A and B are shown apart, each in its own frame.
Chain A
């Protein structure tokens, strides 16, 4: 039995069907991140776990207990809100201790719990201040303190970092991750920042329009997306999606992609069985920018490298990497190359395609075309 089990949960606000049957199960100690575009129902799902929104249909199990009709305060959960939702008329200590006070914890014990959490979050010197006298980052800490002090079974975070500036966000992200590793708590965390999702999660649930698109480890969601939406949503810069045609060559399926002047033929090593049926049909290829590089930086040991000479359309140095843009199948394609590679637009250079990381999608249904056997999370290279 999993620790938190969201079983076919629906949410309707009158006529609008906001969540259309969500199924998610996580284990104790998991860090589940819900990602998806704005309005896809992440906050709604979180509020339902918290008990702040009713469940229209389905079942919510926490530690084997159905909590559909349990009051928020008795679910043994704590929540950190996007706006922090600190009580402005109380001091920081009052804010952190309010939940304990409502649960009639004696003053002395309360004080000890507040001090313990304040020490953990390094806000001991702020305990007597009011929230109005704190900076954004400090408020964020107090909001976390309020959640941590009660030592609940489950933590819920609704975009807790989205009101912080970029640098503080990265710092707090690291801190949340450390906190999770130190305390081993179970967390459900909502964000629409996919970098936050990748770095924090032990499991990611990608949602769109009230439907779960994929649930898996960050690596699985990144390398083995279920559909075009997940492929395009996760990763920055995002996955290159290129129109291609599957043809048979020497009894094996290959993908043909139109370049500016000629046709590029890429061998297919992944999901080969499924793609046999796609002979002479159009598909969409998905290739991460890091799966297209210069021959010297290509991963010849684990990958399956196919080289081709193509014209350079644009060069974008970022410092750490050099993104080289070429045109494949009528769209611009980002390739990640070693910085300092002397390239100029209009030149031709050799691109190395790691076809073992190439994924193929059905352009109509937008679903992945994959072998039945490896439908579960596939480590990279195994199919090669």
Chain B
């Protein structure tokens, strides 16, 4: 019996060692669980409740969801996010790729140019939005400057044109993210084996064919990353739109994020807002989870 106690001691220390890291980490785990997943659960519940200005826990089933999907503004918001998202993703990728290819020609001052292109990404959306709002505002920015310079007939009023306002948001968002996408492509281009390009030259491929047939197909993982990153930025593009157009003129630049905000905090329709929030979360999750899953799995295979 007497020699059982040191063993027990050792066992206890071992158990402590095993549990200590978990104990230390547990407060942050609890906080994340509560503030992220807890509120996700709460919001999901609210979307099935009869909440208006204040939370109301009466279960009403899919009532808020059906109101959301029959809402005319939600339709506009969805249409806008499609237009915005597609244009944004495609323009960023095309421009980013072109810039990366140009920068990859071993030109001088590459470092400076790279920093210049990359810099907008360091700004917050709100700053970008405000700056572009000033720049495109007919009374303040580009148009006025042109008028002051003597070009009286110049007119660029997309910002206040409800048919064109969404494109101004696209321009600002593309301006901000293109440099980042370019950096991703540039890293991809730099990773390509130089001997492969030499081989293609000997094989007689002209430069554009070397890019089209050999280099760009190898950048597939970069395309995927760019699409996923840009898509979730597009869905989250709340602050940019608020700063630039506030969703207007009218509902012309309303997107799900601004829809959610206005229904939750100004129209006192918390239930519908919650339903739209849950919907956005589901879309982002559908994009990100498979991506993260494949990215994190890859090294092992």
Task: Say yes or no: A73 contacts B199, CB within 8 Å.
Answer: no
Q: Which of B15-23, B31-39, B203-211, B248-256 contacts A (4 or more CB under 8 A)?
A: B203-211
Task: Say yes or no: A79 contacts B200, CB within 8 Å.
Answer: no
Q: Which of B50-58, B94-102, B138-146, B190-198 contacts A (4 or more CB under 8 A)?
A: B190-198
Sample (26) of A-B pairs whose CB atoms are under 8 Å apart: A47-B198, A50-B198, A50-B202, A51-B202, A52-B198, A72-B201, A73-B202, A78-B202, A79-B198, A79-B199, A79-B202, A81-B198, A82-B195, A83-B196, A85-B199, A86-B196, A87-B196, A87-B199, A87-B200, A87-B214, A89-B213, A89-B217, A90-B213, A98-B203, A99-B203, A102-B203
Considering the complex, which residues of chain B in the window 249-289 have a beta carbon less than 8 Å from any beta carbon of chain A? none
Tell me if B137 counts as interface (CB < 8 A to partner A).
no
Tell me if B218 counts as interface (CB < 8 A to partner A).
yes
Considering the complex, which residues of chain A in the window 71-95 have a beta carbon less than 8 Å from any beta carbon of chain B? 72-74, 77-79, 81-83, 85-90
What number of B residues sit within 8 Å (CB to CB) of A? 16
Smallest Cβ-Cβ distance to A97: which chain B residue: B203
Contact partners of B198 in chain A: CB under 8 A: 47, 50, 52, 72, 79, 81, 85
Smallest Cβ-Cβ distance to B206: which chain A residue: A102
CA distance A50 to B199 in the complex (A): 10
Task: Say yes or no: B203 contacts A73, CB within 8 Å.
Answer: yes
Nearest CB of chain B from residue A132's CB, rounded to whole Å: 11
Contact partners of B217 in chain A: CB under 8 A: 88-89
Nearest CB of chain B from residue A114's CB, rounded to whole Å: 14
CA distance A47 to B193 in the complex (A): 16
Given contacts A50-B202, A73-B204, A103-B204, contact A85 B209 (CB under 8 A): no
Interface string of A99-110 (1 = CB under 8 A from B): 100110000000
Given contacts A82-B195, A85-B196, contact A52 B218 (CB under 8 A): no
Task: Say yes or no: B195 contacts A83, CB within 8 Å.
Answer: yes
Interface string of A260-296 (1 = CB under 8 A from B): 0000000000000000000000000000000000000
Task: Say yes or no: B199 contacts A81, CB within 8 Å.
Answer: yes
Contact partners of A243 in chain B: CB under 8 A: none
Query: Interface of A with B (CB < 8 Å)?
Result: 47, 50-52, 72-74, 77-79, 81-83, 85-90, 98-99, 102-103, 146
Nearest CB of chain A from residue B43's CB, rounded to whole Å: 44
Task: Say yes or no: B209 contacts A146, CB within 8 Å.
Answer: no
Contact partners of B196 in chain A: CB under 8 A: 83, 85-87
Task: Say yes or no: A102 contacts B214, CB within 8 Å.
Answer: no
Considering the complex, which residues of chain B in the window 60-113 have a beta carbon less than 8 Å from any beta carbon of chain A? none
CA distance A135 to B218 in the complex (A): 20
- Which of A82, A86, A90, A102 is the one whose CB lies under 8 Å from B204? A102
**5 new A-B pairs (CB below 8 Å) besides A85-B193, A85-B196?**
A72-B198, A77-B202, A87-B213, A99-B203, A99-B204
Interface string of B212-250 (1 = CB under 8 A from A): 011001100000000000000000000000000000000
Task: Say yes or no: B201 contacts A52, CB within 8 Å.
Answer: yes
Contact partners of B202 in chain A: CB under 8 A: 50-52, 72-73, 77-79, 99
CA distance A151 to B214 in the complex (A): 23
Nearest CB of chain B from residue A139's CB, rounded to whole Å: 12
CA distance A103 to B214 in the complex (A): 16
Contact partners of B195 in chain A: CB under 8 A: 81-83, 85
Contact partners of A98 in chain B: CB under 8 A: 200, 203, 205, 213
Given contacts A81-B195, A82-B195, A102-B209, contact A89 B218 (CB under 8 A): yes
CA distance A15 to B218 in the complex (A): 35
Nearest CB of chain B from residue A104's CB, rounded to whole Å: 9
Contact partners of B214 in chain A: CB under 8 A: 87, 89
Smallest Cβ-Cβ distance to A152: which chain B residue: B202
Smallest Cβ-Cβ distance to A81: which chain B residue: B195
- Which of B199, B203, B218 is the one whose CB lies under 8 Å from A88? B218
CA distance A77 to B217 in the complex (A): 26
CA distance A144 to B138 in the complex (A): 64
Interface string of B153-165 (1 = CB under 8 A from A): 0000000000000
Contact partners of A52 in chain B: CB under 8 A: 198, 201-202
CA distance A235 to B213 in the complex (A): 45
Task: Say yes or no: A73 contacts B201, CB within 8 Å.
Answer: yes
A72, A77, A86 pick with most chain B CB within 10 angstroms: A72
Contact partners of A146 in chain B: CB under 8 A: 199, 203
Nearest CB of chain A from residue B178's CB, rounded to whole Å: 25
Smallest Cβ-Cβ distance to A78: which chain B residue: B202
Smallest Cβ-Cβ distance to A52: which chain B residue: B198
Contact partners of A74 in chain B: CB under 8 A: 204
Contact partners of A87 in chain B: CB under 8 A: 196, 199-200, 213-214
CA distance A73 to B218 in the complex (A): 23
Contact partners of A73 in chain B: CB under 8 A: 201-205
Nearest CB of chain A from residue B205's CB, rounded to whole Å: 5
Contact partners of A85 in chain B: CB under 8 A: 193, 195-196, 198-199
CA distance A75 to B209 in the complex (A): 20
Smallest Cβ-Cβ distance to A86: which chain B residue: B196
CA distance A50 to B202 in the complex (A): 8
Smallest Cβ-Cβ distance to B201: which chain A residue: A72
Task: Say yes or no: B205 contacts A102, CB within 8 Å.
Answer: yes
CA distance A90 to B215 in the complex (A): 11
